[in-house]
Structures are given as structure tokens and as C-alpha cells.
Structure 1
Amino acid sequence: MMPGSKKPNNAQIVKRNTKLAIRVKKVLFSPDGTQFACATTEGLLVYSLEPNTLQQTTFNPMDIDESVTLDNIIGNIKKENYLTALVLSLKMNEQEVIEKVFKCIPAKSAPLIAANFPSAFFFQFLEFICTEIEKTRDVEWNLIWLKELIKYNDHVLKGCRLSAQYQQQAFSMSQLHKYQVANQNQNMKGRAVLLKMYQILQFYDGSLKRIVNENMHLMKFITARSQKVAATAVDEEEDEHLQTMDTV
């Protein structure tokens, strides 16, 4: 007994508050043995012997569940459920998987997918397209997607507004504050993505204008040169004809 503590009566039952143990359902090790991952009741836990490895990891899923698997993604692509496959790849958040799914979608499906695209993944997909424009040569293909997304999702770009659900129902100040903070974070990310998109489009606009101007000057030079050569050839032919007439 500690000093100052009271001994409980026999009628009283002392309960010990203990935290439930964490259950580990599966453990997998990396090939080199420096990392291992545990699937637990608290989530996916990754451990590494190298301190900087976990900071450089690329696996950062969003809203992942049991349906987010490569088999489901491939199956939806084969069934031509392109929107479902694209959303699953965005949830997995693997750049290579998103790129493969994105390139499997035909151009004619872009308007339909953009019109029904979930707003929760809008800025993530928009950022992916901006990255694709930067590193690939399929500028026209990416610009088609960009145009369709902005065309059908302008409501996502309008900024911080309370939804109709929050306007019609009465919520506590704490709930309203949480919603406003989440909405503010989402819009800050959206503004950053839109700024990046504007800078990329501005760069391509300037580059294309420069190329077009250079091509126009080159075409004018070639046209003028060809006309001059043709005129010189006509003059030489006339001179030869006159010399022939004089000889006769």
C-alpha cells in the first residue's frame, strides 16, 4: 500500500483498466531482411533498420480497403469499368498503377468519367495529369482530360462553401469547426494544384508560340527562296532562248 492510499472494502470491486492487446494477423519481411511489415488491428505497421527508408517510402494509400487490389483493378479494366479502376488505383496511390490504368482508358470515355468523377479524388487526379504533362509527350491527350475535368467539376473549384447538408442541419460548433478545417485544407491543396497547372500551361503556351514563330519564319524563308530560285531559272531559260535565236 502506498502512503495516503485507502484500502478498499471487501464489497468494493477494484477494476483494472488495461488496454486491449494488438493482434498481428500477418508479418512479411523484405528480401534483404532490413524491413518488415505487420498487418495489425491498429493498421499496417512498417519497421526498418535504416532510419531514412521509411521517409522515402512511396506506399501512401488513401481510403484503402479490402477491394483495393491489383486483381480488382485489372478485372475492372477488362470489364471496361474504367472509372472504378481509376478510383481504385488512386486509392492505392501507386504512381505506376495509376499511369497504367490512365493509359488503358480510351479517349471517348474521358467525358463520361470526368462527369461522374468523385470530388474526393479530384485534386489528386488533377495533380497526376499535371505531372503527366510535364514528363510525357502526350500533351494533347492530357489536355483533353484536363478540359473535361474542369468542364464537369467546376463545383469543386469554387472554393470554400458549406454544403447544403451543413446549411440545413444544426451542428455543434466543434463539428462545424472540424468541417471548416477539413474544407480549408482541401481548398489549399486545390489552389496549389491549380497554380501548378497554370504554370505548366503557361510554359507550354510560351514554348508552342516560340516554335510556331520559328516555323513561320522558316516557311517564309523557304517560300521566298524557292520563288527566287524559280525566277532565276526562268531568267536563265529566257537568256538561253535568246542566245539560240541570235545564233540562228
Structure 2
Amino acid sequence: MIEVIHCLLYLPMSSVQVLLRRFQITRNLSLDGVLDFLNSKNMTDAGPLDLIDDEDSDVEDGIDQQTRGSLGHGLPGSMANRGRPIARTKCVKFAPTGRSFAAATTDGVLLYSVDESFIFDPTDLDIDVTPEKVEEALAENQQQRALVLSLRLNEDSLIKKCIFAVDPSNVRAICSSVPFKYLQRLIDAFADLLESCPHLEFILLWAQELCKVDGSYIQQNSRTLLPALKSLQKSITKLHQDLADTCSSNEYMLKYLSSAGTKS
């Protein structure tokens, strides 16, 4: 029978197991256990024909028993190589988001995900969507158009350049004009920038205004946006932890200097 990854639902205080889904790990027919149904001519009442030993025959696997000793195959404790290697799944690990998992199999490492990632959006591309058009829009101070074009191209460097080109007073207006289908890509850019750029207040302003403007949509589609939101939360949490000690020490130092100045 086919070797698959079985997803089982375990019920507390019960031995009941429910098969949720089966994933085929390989289509390599040189491995055993790939086909759902074996060819009827290879099946017998005792099972697959390849797995049945013929004790009455002196010829096994194309090699005569008398010649096996001279070839070194008749040593005590040795076994003949019968059949093909069997397809197996050695280990399964799930991502922290719960939306993807990896399986180590005899056919290699397989990755499964419910999220559809893309490098560019072919449905929105046309002859006018180019990096040159993005640069032209920035030169003409068309910040909203430049950002949308960069999101359609899905070029990381262009997206970040367009983010920094927006004036802080226009952030809210730009956020309200971003199409919903590009929110995940924009949030991913915010999470990456918080880990690498020094303009923390500006990026946090972007994230805050985006949540205010599109909060209802984000809440309704939280399952789809969950990976991007978790990345943003992780970046903000790490940033808070890094700055907490520095801010606290500065606060106590300012209080000390203020009190020392009043006493003198």
C-alpha cells in the first residue's frame, strides 16, 4: 500500500483516531509502497508476489544457490536484497504558525503550506509596471502610485524605498489607498525593517496607521494574515526588550539629575 503522511485527530481520554488527510510523499515508482493498488497480476492470496519466498527453488533473485557461496552471498547471517526500497517518512515537524510543516522522507525533505506565496502578481502586471515607472512616480512626488507599483512588482528594495519616501503626515492617507491583497506583503516589509533600520518611530507609525485604517479587514482575515502579523509582533517584542533596559536606566538618571539640580 502507499506510504503517506497520516494526519490524525487525537481525542482526549479516548483511543479514537480520525484520519483527516493523506499526503503522498513520492511518485517514484522505483520505490515500494507508491501505488494505491497493486497490479492484479502481481497479487496473490498470500500478498504481493515479490515478497513471497520460494523455498522449493534453487534459483533466487536470478542467482543460483550454488553460485551464491562463490560470490560471497552465502555467509551466515547475511540476507539477500529482496525487492525495492520502501518509501518512508522518518520525521514530521510543524512551523510555529501552524500553517506549514516539513517531512523528512526517503524522497527528500518535503515542505507543505496552506499559504500561497508569490514573487510577483501576474494578474496585475502590464507594460507600465516597471522599476523605471516606480522611480518616475517618486520623482513626480506620486507616493501612493509609487508604493502600489512597487507592491505589484513585489521588489523588496523598491517597496522599502517607497515606504521611506512618504511624508509622515501622509502615512494615514497612503495606508487607506493600499489594496487589501497587498497588506500581507506590506506588513512583512514592516517586520523586516524593524529589525534592520534605525527609523523605528517612522515604521511603527506606519504599522499603527495601517492597523487603524484596515483593522476590520485584518480582523476578518486574521488566519490569512497570521504569518505576517506574527512576524511583526516578534519584531516589535524584540525591539521592546532591547530598548527596555536602556530607557529605564536613562529615566532614573534623568530623575537623579533633576533632583540634584533642585537641591543645589
| Normalised TM-score (structure 1) | 0.52
Report the residue type matching 1:219 in the other structure. L
Which runs of 5 or more structure 1 residues have no equivalent in the other structure?
A: 1-58, 161-186, 231-248
1:123 paired residue number:
184
Aligned counterpart, 1:208: 243
Counting strand residues as a fraction of each chain, which structure ranks higher? 2
- 1:69 aligns with one of 130, 136, 142: 130
Give the corresponding residue for 1:184: none
Counterpart among 192, 198, 204 of residue 137 in structure 1: 198
Letter in 1 for 2:169: K
By how many angstroms is 1:224 displaced? 6.3
What does the per-residue CA deviation read over 1:16-42, in whole Å, with 9 as the maximum and x for residues that have no partner? xxxxxxxxxxxxxxxxxxxxxxxxxxx
What does 1:151-230 correspond to in 2, within 5 Å? 151-160=212-221, 187-222=222-257, 230=264
Deviation at 1:125, TM superposition (A): 0.5
- Counterpart residue type for residue 60 of structure 1: I
Higher fraction of helix: 1
1:203 CA drift (Å): 2.4
Letter in 2 for 1:104: A
Pairing of 1:92-107 with structure 2 (within 5 A): 92-107=153-168
Which residue is equivalent to 1:8? Answer: none
Which structure: larger Rg? 1
Q: 1:79/1:215 Cα in 2 relative to 1: closer, same or farther (>3 Å)?
A: same
CA deviation after TM superposition for structure 1 residue 133, in Å: 1.1
Q: For 1:41-76, what per-residue CA distance to the aligned partner results, in whole angstroms no more than 9, with x for missing partners?
A: xxxxxxxxxxxxxxxxxx932233322112211222
- Partner Cα separation in structure 2 for residue 198 and residue 188 of structure 1: 15
Consecutive unaligned residues in structure 2, runs of 5 or more: 1-117
TM-score calculated relative to the size of structure 2: 0.49
Counterpart amino acid of residue 120 in structure 2: P
Q: Deviating runs (4+, > 4 A) in structure 1?
A: 220-228
Q: Which residue of 2 aligns with 1:87?
A: 148
